[in-house]
């Protein structure tokens, strides 16, 4: 156990700190949150790519920095930007999911065409996976793509497409071989969101915000060479993509920050003249949650080390989503309870148009969004299936007998 | 011994549920919530005609002369329907307060108008409930000054009845001089809260009670029982919707209601929720007929049903998956209803503290 | 809602109170707890049967009081005995389960032979249902009974047989038609525990007590006419028996009593000079549990009314076992926590030999026993299956496909 | 940065687990527990030979000179095996206390004997831990009087080191005059607690520390980390046993591990338990190397792992069904082990309170 950094990492840390100190004025206030990057963001992103603080491991021939993969370096960079409150470069599904997928299974032509503009933030991607009838059961995707000459013709509907209203391109999971078993009939297409026949409708959630969209396809023509791997390989490619999604660690520091924000709330909230922080039944609930957060924080440090050492954390990684989302929901529940009736004034601004929510509204939005996180990205029920089957080696449920 | 609703109460329940099912289809409710101010004048008027406004008004003043238990039956039905109408204030706490605290002349003047639904009285507590937010008013002779946040049922109200910590009460006209009622955008779009400000507002003082503090406590307890009943109804609605959805939604080639995980979540919800009904009934009955139990029962009902409500609002949404997280099915209306109930008139922690104090387990 | 009793019930209440006042000196201190009734208990039982405070609804021709079934009467009698702390007559599986089963499906000869001595406490029964391989899946019973002339010959093993070490008779679920589908191959036999070939071994549980036994059968011969209903009807009879077991209500007053005992404990326990009852994080936990208990108490009153009115409470009854056992475990957990380290001195006396446990030991025994109650009599998992399927109308799990 | 055990720590872990798997088969453990006094002299001796007794004793005094993290690794392994031996007292708290508080001469006298396993020192706290039971002693010069209940690891001990609330410490011989150690039948039959009484018992006073209170707190924190590590190991054992049992046990024609209810219970246990390991490591490492974090981390580890332990001890028993409730499979030994750990050296509530105080969230 050695929680200090080695010389090399300390040097990187110093370098990042110096960079931030010099350039922090150029940092945009928020990056890529629910809207298309503006000029300031693009300039910042380009600077980060140059310095290797974004796209660090992308080969230079595709416009990246060409660094060796090193999770510790990535963690140090992320931590310094986070501590300084400086934008850490665009966090988009294109960069985090599609680019590594193309590096793994894309053709050379595909890599050359898309990686450079994607990591520079010039091309924004959205993810076309979930459908109304394919949520937990993602392989049940019904959006059809039929080959017509040198184009696929796409018809169907996607849902939960977060950046569809401003994205330039989409990576799409669709059914091209309906006669094959469900996992073998899928393909993975890349298509421009400007193609005729695409309709994007904002999808309002319980938070009052339209963080997501529905996307409808009517005879949308996609050049046949915009397929990743071959026909019927869609499930394989989608799982590669999802692997990279899952590799993004939840951020325990964010949760610890929440604990302290709630503590401040409890110091500032009085009932009948007594501060909530001085009421042990309230304080104990906060301290107990702090304990849960601490466990997750050290667990993440352990995972980071395992990743750096090339050890597969197995079960240790599988539990992260379930643990983090359930804990997050309990944390925001406490904040909402501390506000009590005074926090019920609720005036959320729409993501699409922007504007800042007041603090109580933010906590309520977070609380409901946390429930969304429990449900989305593989619900808690699906996570428990994964943990028990892959982590604990328990058998899959038997297939039902035909009736 | 008969621990059950009477035939009359069952009829009240059925007629209310029948009306609400007919006159408040989901699309109507969603549209009302979307408009933001939420409360529906039409439904208030029609419910008043059905006798809901006068439920607790004594018969000699033109009401139905019913009790807190009858009101709780109504509150559960309204919660089940997600009804965007005022209830706990004008139909329960206000007539109870007037009956307990007002002079005969005041009663004769106000109660018939309340029963008709024409005088709509919100009840604001200037402290003593444990509710967070400003609650700071002073009564100087017959004028009231100060401000109270988070007042329930004040949108569309004609009057605000302010109950002071010492039990005195003061009735002000919303459109009277020195009174400002600002309806706030509220988490539950169907029951917006208001911020009421008094600036030397002329008020009618209610001071006919022998024990003002006890009367005020009875009013507050009745309000808490209504909030518990409302949560009970709303949580039952969410459970019913979750079970129905699970029976239709197919994933992995099966309705999800056939997965043990979904079945067990549903069973847990039902197991927690079902005893809440008897608890609410008892707390309401105690308010009517068992004074020595009434306060503790009200505190416990408010606290316990709120905790169960949180469990059900969470798990029922989970059963709905992504659909539960959207506005498409309207499920979130009930979710937010349960959240609002939890925080009004004292958190579960606060209500449990009062229950402990009332039982002498700790000094007050 | 009318929580007072009508005249008839008030009269019964007064009568019971008068009886108790007059006769309480003859009441034995404990009845039928893990040992064979002695002369005092038998005399007391006989008095109760005469007065109709036990075996109230058993026809006089079988030795009972011949009263009309009336759950309210039963509840009043039980409450008065409980409040007075006076033994309420023998509570045995023979009286509560076998006797009503014989009344429902036994032959006239069987009723005449067994009901009278059973309700008088002269014949004690034990229940031969569970097996090591047939717990949740009770229909999987493997104990075999083969007809040999006019006797069944029984071989196999039972477990969880609580009074086997002193019982006179057993009602036994066993397999007589192994060739039939599993639910149709069972029969229900009555046999004397004195029959040669029966071995009873005490089964120690985690509480340190031998509250249960294992029973081993080796060529045990049972007269063929000691079958209830016919061959292959065992599952039907067993379910009738279990129906009567489930009709015994959990006692919410017992839980409320526990709440107050824990409150007293918290008043008497100090940490660093402060009473636990004065520590809000402890008190809040107790008050919260009190709320759960209150909900269950009123729920039971509602069920009692429904039963009295002949209404099937449906879901309302199905939840009782799950709710009560989970709540009971949380209650005793709090007691155990209040004792803390000082309560870890643990010296349980064996049920078979008797002797009183100290208070802390009792709470630990109760706490572990409460976990046993969650597991036994249809575990929480089985209860949730029942509630969701029968109470909420959700489908049974699909049968697995044959492999 | 390397948040991981060293190769040496992994070897320690493996060698201990190997020894325990070989030398402590279930039947042996059950037999030792059945005998009632529980602790096994044989296993203590053999573990001492393996270096466990001297783990924390500085190398210059004949020990391994290792730290709290190494000890936590050992504690987890012992908890996993349900080992009926003293550890937190004689192998961790006592050598740490002597190193921090005793004079050079005392250290030179005692530590080598402790490393050899020949001097076996139980540690008793006369208050300040939040542990219930009597803890009332007075030190008068070089004699000690009073009584302490619930002393861990005193069965078979040669000495008792009493730590007073002000941080002073006093070592008494168990067989010395005026000392009575009564081993009590204890819930966890493998680690009986003792009631120790002093009647003007002559003691050696340890007063070489500059900051006695801080030293005492370090000793107590190390003890708490050991209890957390022990619970971690015991809970991991229960989870592993539950998963293994579920894969074998057939009901309704399927192994019960194929039922979603059983799978999800198991997944929930694993999800709660796995992060506890990193938490225990951190708390132990902080005790060795990060003084500013050590106290809060120890309090949190003790509290959090105890809560997770309760969840796992319950659910793992449930997965075992009736078999888990019997003594047949010995599962209850681990259940009771987790229960004992929870209550020693302060409940979760108490530890959380101390964490709040240490962070300045509330006055002490």
Query: Tell me: the pLDDT tens digits for C304-329?
Result: 899 888 888 899 999 999 999 999 99
Cα gap D192→D344, rounded to integer Å? 12
- Which two tokens mark C174? 């066993």
HEC profile of chain D: CECCCCHHHHHHHHHHHHHHHHHCCHHHHHHHHHHCCCCCHHHHHHHHHCCCCCCCCCHHHCCCCCCHHHHHHHHHHHHHHCCCCCCHHHHHHHHHHHHHHCCHHHHHHHHHHHHCCCCCEEEEECCCCCCCCCEEEEEECCEEEEEEEEECCCCCCCEEEEECCCCCEEEEECCCCCEEEEECCECCCCCCCEEEEEEEEECEEECCCCCHHHHHHHHHHHHHHHHHHHHHHHHHHHHHHHHHHHHHCEECCEEHHHCHHHHHHHHHHHHHHHHHHHHHHHHHHHHHHCHHHHHHHHHHHHHHHHHHHHHHHHHHHHHHCHHHHECCCCHHHHHHHHHHHHHCCCCHHHHHHHHHHHCCCCCC
Q: Which residues of C are catalytic?
A: 245
- Residues facing D267 on adjacent strands: none
Axis-axis angle for helices C320-339, C280-308 (nearest 10): 150
Return the pLDDT at A71: 80
Q: Do the chains contact at D1 and A292, CB–CB below 8 Å?
A: no
Return the pLDDT at D263: 98
Tell me C22's DSSP state. H
Contact in structure between D158 and D173 (CB atoms under 8 Å): yes
Residue carrying the six token digits 């969410």: B238
Return the pLDDT at C34: 67
- C partners (3+ CB pairs within 8 A) are A, B, D
Q: Do the chains contact at A269 and B132, CB–CB below 8 Å?
A: yes
The alpha carbon of residue D254 is apart from the nearest alpha carbon of chain B, in Å, by: 15
Least confident of A59-63, C34-38, D134-138: C34-38
User: Is residue B5 pLDDT above 90, yes or no?
Assistant: yes
Domain coordinates of chain A in residue numbers? 7-91, 125-231, 250-391
Q: Do the chains contact at D325 and C206, CB–CB below 8 Å?
A: yes
User: Which residue segments constitute the domains of chain D, with CATH numbers given?
Assistant: 212-358 (1.20.140.10)
pLDDT digits (tens, 9 = 90+) for A125-167: 999 999 999 988 899 999 999 999 999 999 999 999 988 999 9
- Residues facing A191 on adjacent strands: A170
Q: Summarize the confidence of residues B48-77 as an average pLDDT.
A: 97
Compute and round to an integer the Cα radius of gyration of chain D.
20
Contact residues on chain D for A381, CB-CB shorter than 8 A: 264
User: Is residue C32 pLDDT above 60, yes or no?
Assistant: no
- Which two tokens mark B270? 């039902």
Cα gap D233→D87, rounded to integer Å? 14
What is the value of ipTM here, to two decimals? 0.95
Question: Which CATH number among 1.10.3470.10, 1.20.140.10, 3.40.50.620, 1.20.810.10 corresponds to the domain C250-391?
Answer: 1.20.140.10
CA-wise closest residue to A105 among A247, A236, A248, A246: A236
- D partners (3+ CB pairs within 8 A) are A, B, C
**CB-CB: which of B128, B335, B342 is closest to A206?**
B335
Average pLDDT of chain C, as a whole number: 91
Q: Summarize the confidence of residues A360-377 as an average pLDDT.
A: 94
CA-wise closest residue to D186 among A47, C343, A302, B209: C343
Distance of CA A112 to the CA centre of its chain: 24
Return the pLDDT at A308: 84
Query: Please, which residues have CB within 8 angstroms of residue B331's CB and are 6 or more apart in sequence?
Result: A206, B238, B241, B316, B317, B320, B323, B324
Q: Do the chains contact at B263 and C384, CB–CB below 8 Å?
A: yes
Return the pLDDT at D282: 97
Question: Could you give the C-alpha distances from A185 to A139, A188, A189, A234, D241, in angstroms and in order?
Answer: 9, 11, 13, 8, 41
Judged by a CB distance cut-off of 8 A, whether residue A323 touches chain D is yes
Q: Summarize the confidence of residues A306-313 as an average pLDDT.
A: 88
Rounded percentage of chain A residues whose pLDDT exceeds 90: 71
User: Is residue D190 pLDDT above 70, yes or no?
Assistant: yes
Q: Residue A328: in which H helix or E strand, if any?
A: helix A320-339
**CB-CB: which of D6, D247, D276 is closest to A394?**
D247
pLDDT digits (tens, 9 = 90+) for D291-342: 999 999 999 999 999 999 999 999 999 999 999 999 999 999 999 999 999 9
Cα gap C370→D100, rounded to integer Å? 45
Beta strand segments in C33-182, E: 125-128, 144-148, 151-159, 169-175
pLDDT digits (tens, 9 = 90+) for C214-265: 999 999 999 999 999 999 999 999 988 877 765 554 577 789 989 999 999 9
Q: Summarize the confidence of residues D142-165 as an average pLDDT.
A: 96
**Torsion of Cα atoms, A314 then A316 then A322 then A326, to 10°:** 180
Q: Summarize the confidence of residues A87-109 as an average pLDDT.
A: 91
User: Is residue C166 pLDDT above 80, yes or no?
Assistant: yes
- What is the number of residues in chain B? 364
User: Is residue A352 pLDDT above 70, yes or no?
Assistant: no
- Which two tokens mark A22? 């010099």
Least confident of A204-213, C74-83, D80-89: C74-83
- Which two tokens mark C145? 């009974």
Contact in structure between C81 and C37 (CB atoms under 8 Å): no
User: Is residue C56 pLDDT above 60, yes or no?
Assistant: yes
Cα gap B265→B275, rounded to integer Å? 17
**CB-CB: which of D3, D307, D361 is closest to A3?**
D3
User: Is residue D45 pLDDT above 90, yes or no?
Assistant: yes
Judged by a CB distance cut-off of 8 A, whether residue C305 touches chain B is yes
- Confidence bin at A89 (pLDDT 50/70/90): confident
Q: Residue A215: in which H helix or E strand, if any?
A: strand A212-223
Return the pLDDT at A34: 66
Cα gap A103→D350, rounded to integer Å? 53
Return the pLDDT at A249: 46
Q: Residue C28: in which H helix or E strand, if any?
A: none
- Confidence bin at A84 (pLDDT 50/70/90): confident
- Residue D65 region, left (φ>0) first, then alpha (ψ -120 to 50), else beta? left
Q: Which of residues 53-82 of A touch D (CB under 8 A)?
A: 72
Compute and round to an integer the Cα radius of gyration of chain C.
23
Whether the CA torsion C75, C79, C82, C84 is positive or negative: it is negative
Contact in structure between A157 and A215 (CB atoms under 8 Å): yes
**Torsion of Cα atoms, A237 then A243 then A245 then A246, to 10°:** 160
Return the pLDDT at B37: 66
Q: Summarize the confidence of residues B273-301 as an average pLDDT.
A: 97
Judged by a CB distance cut-off of 8 A, whether residue A384 touches chain B is yes
pLDDT digits (tens, 9 = 90+) for C344-399: 999 998 766 667 889 999 999 999 999 999 998 889 999 999 999 999 999 998 87
Q: Which residue does chain D place closest to C397, by CA atoms?
A: D259
Contact residues on chain B for A329, CB-CB shorter than 8 A: 314
Contact residues on chain C for D184, CB-CB shorter than 8 A: 345
Scored b (16 or more CB within 10 A) or e, C376-388 reads bbbbbbbbbbbbb
Contact residues on chain A for C401, CB-CB shorter than 8 A: 398-402
Residue carrying the six token digits 């503590």: A263
Q: Summarize the confidence of residues A347-358 as an average pLDDT.
A: 78
Average pLDDT of chain B, as a whole number: 96
Contact in structure between D143 and D129 (CB atoms under 8 Å): no
Query: Please, which residues have CB within 8 angstroms of residue D28's CB and are 6 or more apart in sequence?
Result: none
Query: Please, which residues have CB within 8 angstroms of residue D244's CB and are 6 or more apart in sequence?
Result: none
Kindly tell me the burial class for residue D104, based on how many C-beta atoms sit within 10 Å of its own C-beta (0-12, 13-18, 19 or more). exposed
The alpha carbon of residue B87 is apart from the nearest alpha carbon of chain C, in Å, by: 23
Q: Do the chains contact at D259 and B259, CB–CB below 8 Å?
A: no
Q: Which residue does chain B place closest to C325, by CA atoms?
A: B271
Q: Do the chains contact at A375 and B193, CB–CB below 8 Å?
A: no
Q: Which residues of A are catalytic?
A: 245
Q: Roughly how many angstroms between the first and final C-alpha of chain A, as a whole number?
A: 57
Return the pLDDT at A400: 74
Residue carrying the six token digits 């077991």: C245
Domain A125-231 class in CATH = mainly beta
Cα gap A57→A70, rounded to integer Å? 8
**CB-CB: which of B127, B250, B327 is closest to A204?**
B327
Return the pLDDT at D123: 98
Least confident of A129-138, D60-69, D92-101: A129-138
Q: Which residue does chain B place closest to A202, by CA atoms?
A: B326
Neighbouring C-beta atoms of residue D31, cutoff 10 Å: 11
- Residue C41 region, left (φ>0) first, then alpha (ψ -120 to 50), else beta? alpha
Judged by a CB distance cut-off of 8 A, whether residue C393 touches chain A is no
pLDDT digits (tens, 9 = 90+) for D103-113: 999 999 999 99
The alpha carbon of residue B358 is apart from the nearest alpha carbon of chain C, in Å, by: 12
Q: Which residue does chain B place closest to A362, by CA atoms?
A: B187
- Confidence bin at C71 (pLDDT 50/70/90): confident
Bigger pLDDT: A110 or C38? A110
Residue carrying the six token digits 């692997």: A243
Rounded percentage of chain C residues whose pLDDT exceeds 90: 71
CA-wise closest residue to B281 among B229, B322, B238, B244: B229
The alpha carbon of residue D110 is apart from the nearest alpha carbon of chain C, in Å, by: 29
Return the pLDDT at C30: 62
Query: Please, which residues have CB within 8 angstroms of residue C234's CB and are 6 or more apart in sequence?
Result: C173, C174, C176, C186, C187, C188
pLDDT digits (tens, 9 = 90+) for B127-140: 899 999 999 999 99
Q: Summarize the confidence of residues D271-285 as an average pLDDT.
A: 98
């Amino acid at each position: 156990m050695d929680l200090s950094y080695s010389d090399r990492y300390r040097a990187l840390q110093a370098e990042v700190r110096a960079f931030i100190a010099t350039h922090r004025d150029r940092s945009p206030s928020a990056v890529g949150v629910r809207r298309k990057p503006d000029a300031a963001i693009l300039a910042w992103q380009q600077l980060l790519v140059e310095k290797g603080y974004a796209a660090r491991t992308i080969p230079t021939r595709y416009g990246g920095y060409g660094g060796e993969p090193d999770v510790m370096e990535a963690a140090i960079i992320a931590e310094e930007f986070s501590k300084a409150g400086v934008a850490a470069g665009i966090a988009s599904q294109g960069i985090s999911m599609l680019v590594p997928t193309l590096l793994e299974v894309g053709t050379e032509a595909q890599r050359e065409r898309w990686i450079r503009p994607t990591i520079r933030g010039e091309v924004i991607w959205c993810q076309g996976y979930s459908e109304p009838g394919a949520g937990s059961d993602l392989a049940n995707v019904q959006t059809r793509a039929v080959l017509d000459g040198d184009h696929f013709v796409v018809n169907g509907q996607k849902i939960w497409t977060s950046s569809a209203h401003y994205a330039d391109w989409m990576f799409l999971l669709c059914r091209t071989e309906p006669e094959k078993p469900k996992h073998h009939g899928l393909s993975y297409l890349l298509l421009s969101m400007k193609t005729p026949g695409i309709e994007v409708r904002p999808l309002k959630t319980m938070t009052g915000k339209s963080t997501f969209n529905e996307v409808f396809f009517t005879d949308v023509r996609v050049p046949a060479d915009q397929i990743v791997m071959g026909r019927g390989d869609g499930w394989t490619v989608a799982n590669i993509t999802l692997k990279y999604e899952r590799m993004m660690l939840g951020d325990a520091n964010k949760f610890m920050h929440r604990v302290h924000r709630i503590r401040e709330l409890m110091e500032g909230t009085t009932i009948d003249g007594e501060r909530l922080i001085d009421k042990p039944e309230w304080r104990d609930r906060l301290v107990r949650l702090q304990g849960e957060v601490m466990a997750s924080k050290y667990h993440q440090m352990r995972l980071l080390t395992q990743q750096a050492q090339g050890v597969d954390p197995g079960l240790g990684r599988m539990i992260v989503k379930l643990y983090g989302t359930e804990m997050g929901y309990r944390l925001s529940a406490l904040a909402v309870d501390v506000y009590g009736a005074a926090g019920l004034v609720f005036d959320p601004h729409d993501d699409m148009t922007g504007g800042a929510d007041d603090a109580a509204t933010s906590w309520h939005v977070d609380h409901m969004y946390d429930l969304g996180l429990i449900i989305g990205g593989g619900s808690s029920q699906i996570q428990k299936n994964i943990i028990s089957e892959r982590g604990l080696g328990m058998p899959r449920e038997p297939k039902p007998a035909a009736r | 011994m008969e621990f059950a609703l009477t035939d009359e109460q069952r009829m009240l329940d059925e007629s209310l549920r029948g009306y609400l099912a007919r006159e408040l289809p989901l699309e109507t409710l969603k549209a009302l919530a979307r408009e933001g101010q939420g409360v529906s004048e039409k439904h208030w008027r029609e419910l008043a005609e059905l006798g809901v406004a006068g439920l607790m008004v004594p018969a000699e003043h033109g009401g139905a002369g019913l009790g807190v238990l009858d009101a709780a039956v109504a509150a559960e039905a309204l919660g089940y329907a997600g009804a965007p109408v005022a209830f706990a204030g004008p139909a329960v706490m206000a007539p109870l307060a007037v009956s307990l605290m007002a002079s005969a002349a005041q009663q004769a003047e106000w109660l018939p108008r309340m029963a008709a639904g024409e005088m709509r009285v919100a009840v604001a507590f200037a402290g003593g409930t444990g509710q967070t937010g400003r609650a700071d008013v002073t009564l100087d002779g017959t004028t009231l000054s100060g401000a109270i946040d988070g007042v329930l049922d004040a949108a569309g109200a004609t009057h605000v009845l302010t109950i002071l910590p010492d039990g005195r009460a003061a009735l002000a006209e919303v459109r009277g001089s020195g009174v400002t009622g600002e309806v706030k955008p509220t988490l539950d779009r169907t029951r917006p809260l208001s911020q009421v400000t008094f600036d030397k507002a002329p008020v009618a003082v209610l001071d006919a009670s022998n024990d003002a503090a006890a009367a005020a406590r009875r009013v507050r307890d009745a309000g808490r029982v209504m909030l518990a009943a409302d949560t009970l109804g709303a949580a039952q609605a969410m459970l019913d919707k979750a079970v129905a959805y699970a029976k239709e939604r197919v994933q992995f080639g099966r309705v999800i209601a056939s997965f043990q995980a979904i079945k067990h979540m549903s069973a847990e919800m039902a197991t927690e929720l079902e005893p809440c009904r008897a608890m609410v009934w008892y707390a309401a009955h105690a308010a009517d007929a068992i004074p020595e139990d009434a306060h503790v029962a009200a505190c416990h009902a408010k606290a316990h049903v709120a905790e169960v409500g949180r469990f059900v609002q969470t798990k029922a949404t989970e059963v709905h998956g992504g659909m539960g997280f959207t506005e498409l099915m309207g499920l979130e209306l009930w979710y937010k209803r349960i959240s609002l109930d939890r925080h009004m008139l004292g958190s579960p922690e606060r209500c449990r503290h009062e229950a402990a104090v009332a039982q002498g387990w700790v000094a007050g």
